[in-house]
Amino acid sequence: SQQGEEDPQALSIQEGENATMNCSYKTSINNLQWYRQNSGRGLVHLILIRSNEREKHSGRLRVTLDTSKKSSSLLITASRAADTASYFCATDEIGNAGNMLTFGGGTRLMVKP
Partner 1 sequence: KAGVTQTPRYLIKTRGQQVTLSCSPISGHRSVSWYQQTPGQGLQFLFEYFSETQRNKGNFPGRFSGRQFSNSRSEMNVSTLELGDSALYLCASVTGTSGANEQFFGPGTRLTVL
Residues that bind partner 1 (CB under 8 A): 1-2, 30-31, 33, 35, 40-45, 48, 50, 88, 90, 92-93, 96-106
From the CB of 52, what's the least distance to partner 1, in Å? 12
Give bridge partners of residue 20 from the DSSP assignment.
Answer: 75
Distance CA 72, CA 31 (A): 11
Residue 84 CB, shortest distance to partner 1, in Å, is 18
Q: How far is the CB of 17 from partner 1 (least distance, A)?
A: 27
Instruction: Give the nearer residue to partner 1 in terms of CB position, either 2 or 18.
Output: 2
Q: Least distance from C-beta 19 to partner 1, angstroms? A: 20
Using the minimum distance from each CB to partner 1, give the nearer residue, 97 or 113. Answer: 97
Nearer to partner 1, 98 or 113 (CB): 98
Q: Check residue 81 and give left, alpha or beta (phi > 0: left; psi -120 to 50: alpha).
A: alpha
Q: What are phi and psi of 83, to 5 degrees?
A: -80, -10
The pairing of beta strand 85-93 with beta strand 107-112? antiparallel
* Smaller CB separation from partner 1, 25 or 106: 106
Q: 96 CB contacts (<8 Å, ≥6 apart)?
A: none
